[in-house]
Amino acid sequence: MKKISRNNPDSMPKPVGNYSHVTRVPKGAGLIVTSGQVGTDMNGEVPQQLNDQVTNTFANMKKVLESEGLSHDSVIKVNIWATEEIDWDYFYMKWDEWFQGEYPSMTIAYISALGLPELKIEIELWCAEI
């Protein structure tokens, strides 16, 4: 069976976080890209604290993947935008629950604002369906 592979080449420095430098998708896989998921709850409410938004964002990521018959194993690339410094201990606790050492490629950027003023984090998923 074809499989997504993740690699950190020996010729490069180790990643500075929990991600892979290279994620390779086998030929013939389908590409699924999500819109950025944010920290709203099911009522559209946005908590004030970043970590609460992180919790909701991961819940929304799970729901959007499940809606397409996918799981965290399908994620090949994650783009993260945050308006304040991420509590990496908390974030990686959630991240590691999801990826359990099989980390996708990742880009993180700190920016001045997201689409709504109360949003502090947005996470976009790139996925492969094998």
pLDDT digits (tens, 9 = 90+) for 79-96: 999 999 999 999 999 999
With CA atoms as reference, report the closest residue to 118 among 41, 35, 34, 33: 41
pLDDT at 64 over 70: yes
- pLDDT exceeds cutoff 80 at 1: no
What's the rounded Cα separation, in Å, for the pair 65 and 16? Answer: 27
